[in-house]
Chain A
Amino acid sequence: MFEIGFLSIILLLLWFVVFVIVMRLPQDWAAALRLRLVTLLGCVVALGAYFSQAWIEFNPIEYITPSDVLDCIPEDLLAFIVEKMGSEQGAKILRILADFMQLNGWQTQVIPTYSIATRVCTLFAPVLAFAALLWIPFGVWLRGKKLTAMVGGLMIFLNGVGSILLLLVLPDLDALGMAGDFHGMLLATLVGAHLGNGPWWAIIGMLLIAVGGVVEIMDHPDVDDFSNSIDTPVEEIWSS
């Protein structure tokens, strides 16, 4: 379930290099950046998930062994799909099924049967990850300011909502946007379409960025080490 794509491995290695460098730097800005490594990790995980992990897999090999996926689908069914969806959309989805064994996050956008809501929900992960990535230098620069705390709150809210929305559209993603439709489900069954691990990694990435939002709120120039904040008794935080 949690196998990692090549691009994700590269991104995680890059993050580790940044981690090692930042941990060794003595400057103030490095101390601030150190706290935001969790945001950076979230961005890396979410972007890696969207661009390199499988969101939808076509794996008929689990129960059949054809070399070409379309060969195992009867012509009558193909004709019915084309007739029902229209020649343009039908041809499009059949071409996708024939050409790909898996679709990454961005590639799922080419599936014509997904609703607008599903498409928007799948876009939350890369958009929020890019936004958080761009914010990191500003967060280091403006640490302790009211704006930083507001952005932190926004990061928590948007990533929390984005994670839940992505979770809610997973059944629709899994069913290629044709849940409850007999012919669509029959086609999906025959090509062994099922959800890949990409969305799960995207959700983990967004949750890490939300944790980064907490860092943005709690970080202050006076707090040069995050452990100071962690050592604060819970009762004190609560009463404040």
Chain B
Amino acid sequence: MVILILISAAFVGVVFVIRHSENNNRWLSWGGFLGSVLALLAFFLLPWVELGGISAFQQNIEWIVANFNTLDSLLIQLSLSPTSVSPETLCSIFDDRTTYAFLSLVQKGNDFHAWQLMQAAFRVQPPLVMALGLSLLIALASGLVDVWRLMTGNWQWGSRIRKYLPLCSIVVILLLLGYFPLLDSLGAPDNLKVRLLAALASAKVGCGLCWMVVGMIAAILGSIRDWLPSVVLDVVEEP
């Protein structure tokens, strides 16, 4: 609901500013810059996957240990192991770099940020990692162009880049939204090991992606000038 209100407010705000401001360029650049900053903050600081904490992880592990015969029969049923399971064979099942990356993050007990998600999903879901990397680059490039414009007052600077960044942003937003419900399993719902680990860590999708999308939409709105120069540039240019 908060996100909805913010999106509506941002949209109404941009329309209002464009119609009433004496210098739309400055406001639009500020809007675009703040959008990029929000996207970057979401990328590095907000939780993209929320974990139940190290205590929940330990409790879940204890439940598994207490019901080891359950896990034993479970793994046999899942055809992961043809014979009875010992702790050693169990370890060997989960012995790969993805599991280590996931577990090392879980053991820290903190929620996943986007850059940690990239680290954990690197081997199981490369397209997700690529989309995350692109979103970071787009937010950075968009923010830098707006900062430069605000500093120099040259509102035409980087117009070509700023014109095509929104197109890339839309593609990346759609890619990321496609992965949105699957983030808690690192974007790989068909990977049993990852899903079991996610269940053990009581993982669920966090709010990071939503805020990143809000930031990127604000950055896209900030580039209206580059798309419709005749509408927005009919203002007094700053000296």
Contacts and interface: CB of A to CB of B under 8 A. Distances in A.
Contacts of B168: none
Given A76-B69, A168-B210, A182-B56, 5 more contacts: A64-B77, A76-B67, A170-B181, A171-B180, A194-B189
B195 to A, nearest CB: 4
Interface of A: 1, 59, 62-66, 71-74, 76-77, 161, 164-165, 167-168, 170-171, 173-175, 179-182, 185-186, 188-190, 192, 194-195, 200, 234-235, 238
Interface residues of B, number: 42
B204 A180 contact: yes
B190 interface: yes
Given A171-B180, A171-B183, A185 B198 contact: yes
A234 B234 CA distance: 14
A179 B184 contact: yes
Contact of B196 (A65, A164, A189, A195): A189
A161 B4 contact: yes
A232 to B, nearest CB: 14
B182 A174 contact: yes
B231 interface: yes
B157 interface: no
23 contacts: A1-B178, A59-B190, A63-B191, A63-B192, A74-B67, A168-B3, A170-B180, A171-B181, A171-B183, A171-B205, A174-B182, A174-B189, A175-B184, A179-B184, A180-B202, A180-B203, A182-B200, A185-B203, A188-B199, A190-B78, A194-B189, A194-B190, A235-B231
A63 B74 contact: no
A189 B4 contact: no
A195 B78 CA distance: 21
